[in-house]
Amino acid sequence: MLNFFRSEDHARNWRRTQPDEPGVATPLAQAFVLGKRLFGDVLSPRAPGQ
């Protein structure tokens, strides 16, 4: 599951109310880079026949 937060304060407040939930907060730019590494071009359009 992914949770998106509008600010670091919002993420910290959520974490305080959900202390048993696993995971870490990741800045959007870092999450974008990680997503590209994990999923590569999975969502890129492909030419017919590829």
pLDDT in tens, 1-50: 788 899 999 999 999 999 999 988 899 899 899 988 988 888 777 767 76
**Predicted local distance difference test score (pLDDT) of residue 11:** 93
- Listed by start position, the domains of the chain span 8-38
Q: Are 31 and 23 in contact (CB under 8 A)?
A: no
> Tell me, what's the pLDDT at 44?
78
* Predicted pLDDT at 22: 92
Helix (H) or strand (E) holding 23: none
Distance, in Å, from the CA atom of 50 to the CA atom of 14, rounded to the nearest integer, reads 43
The pTM of the full predicted model, rounded to 2 decimals, is 0.58
pLDDT at residue 47 in the model: 66
Asked whether the beta carbons of 31 and 37 are under 8 A apart, the reply is no
Residue 29: what pLDDT? 92
